[in-house]
Amino acid sequence: MNIRNNITNLRQNLPDGCTLVVVTKTQPVQKIEEAYAAGHRIFGENKVQELLPKSEALPRDIQWHLIGHLQSNKVKYIVPFVHLIHSVDSLKLLEEINKQSAKVNRVTSCLLQLHIAKEETKFGFSEKELMDLLSNPILNTLANVRVVGLMGMASFTHNTEQVRNEFRGLKNLFDRLKSMALPKVMELTTLSMGMSGDYRIAIEEGSTMIRVGTAIFGAREQV
Ligand SMILES: *Cc1c(COP(=O)(O)O)cnc(C)c1O
């Protein structure tokens, strides 16, 4: 795989207003340096224990995104530097991010993860849970988080119509929320959807942020 070419090609074909997060999970630092040398600065990891050593080893001007499931007890390690957390899936987690961010005097940007896939295993709020969250007065007390959008993962299937419908549903929800009176911690600008196998569909359905690993680095080794 030619990492530089893959990133350049991807970026050239992105519509205005759509951001590429290069997903570096399981990739060694040297591969990430190749992506960095191609001029890319926005990287995503799905595990805190992998993100920490990589953020130490690599240049400071990288914007690190945490894209995978986050446990409350690990929040404190990433809030001092993380650029965006894509995977907030409970109020408890959002409160912990707020608490730890206050300690280091930061406001941490977050996305709420919605469960849009048919599969049981994926994390995220249902639409009903999201609506309940939005009406919870606790949200108004959170001064050290900013909810800047939504994230979702489509079903892992070759049925592209299903994938499209799942993305369309999320975009629809995103637009409905934007037209509502929301708690002041919410400032919706970002819709994170689309991975290597489905980012083209996601872009057609209105994604503003795609998270791509395999299409840039090749298949990950099984661990
Ligand atoms: C691994 C991962 C991706 C990227 O997956 P690819 O298929 O390699 O592009 C995107 N989002 C999340 C949450 C991931 O864990």
pLDDT of residue 40: 98
Q: 53 is written with which tokens?
A: 């050593």
Q: Which atom of ligand 1 is the closest one to the Cα of 214?
A: 8
Share of residues in the chain with pLDDT > 90 (%)? 95
Report the Cα–Cα distance between both ends of the chain, in Å, rounded: 20
pLDDT of residue 78: 98
**Is the minimum distance from the CB of 46 to ligand 1 under 6 angstroms?**
yes
The Cα–Cα gap between 205 and 174 comes to: 12
Q: 170 is written with which tokens?
A: 């999320």
pLDDT of residue 122: 66
**Is the minimum distance from the CB of 213 to ligand 1 under 6 angstroms?**
yes
pLDDT band at 118 (very low <50, low <70, confident <90, very high): confident
**For ligand 1, mutation pick of 46, 64, 116, 193 (most atoms within 8 Å of CB):** 46
pLDDT band at 1 (very low <50, low <70, confident <90, very high): confident
pLDDT band at 223 (very low <50, low <70, confident <90, very high): low
Helices (H), the chain: 3-12, 29-37, 48-57, 75-78, 91-103, 127-134, 160-178, 199-204, 214-217
The model's pLDDT over 204-218, given as tens digits with 9 standing for 90+, comes to 999 999 999 999 999
- What is the mean predicted confidence (pLDDT) over 74-85? 98
Q: Which atom of ligand 1 is the closest one to the Cα of 23?
A: 4
pLDDT of residue 120: 76
pLDDT of residue 161: 97
Q: Which atom of ligand 1 is the closest one to the Cα of 197?
A: 7
The model's pLDDT over 100-110, given as tens digits with 9 standing for 90+, comes to 999 999 999 99
∠ CA 134-210-5, rounded to 5°: 165
**Is the minimum distance from the CB of 207 to ligand 1 under 6 angstroms?**
no
Residue 8: is its pLDDT beyond 70? yes
The model's pLDDT over 125-144, given as tens digits with 9 standing for 90+, comes to 999 999 999 999 999 999 99
pLDDT band at 119 (very low <50, low <70, confident <90, very high): confident
Residue 117: is its pLDDT beyond 80? yes
**Is the minimum distance from the CB of 206 to ligand 1 under 6 angstroms?**
no
Do residues 24 and 44 lie in contact, with contact meaning Cβ atoms separated by under 8 Å?
Answer: yes
The Cα–Cα gap between 148 and 157 comes to: 28
Local structure of 157: helix, strand or coil: coil
* Helix, strand counts (H, E) of the chain: 9, 8
The chain-wide mean pLDDT, for the chain, equals 96
Domain ranges of the chain: 3-217
The model's pLDDT over 160-178, given as tens digits with 9 standing for 90+, comes to 999 999 999 999 999 999 9
Q: Which atom of ligand 1 is the closest one to the Cα of 220?
A: 8
The Cα–Cα gap between 163 and 50 comes to: 29
- CATH class of the domain at 3-217: alpha beta
Orientation of helix 160-178 relative to helix 127-134, angle to 10°? 10
Residue 222: is its pLDDT beyond 80? no
- What is the mean predicted confidence (pLDDT) over 168-190? 96
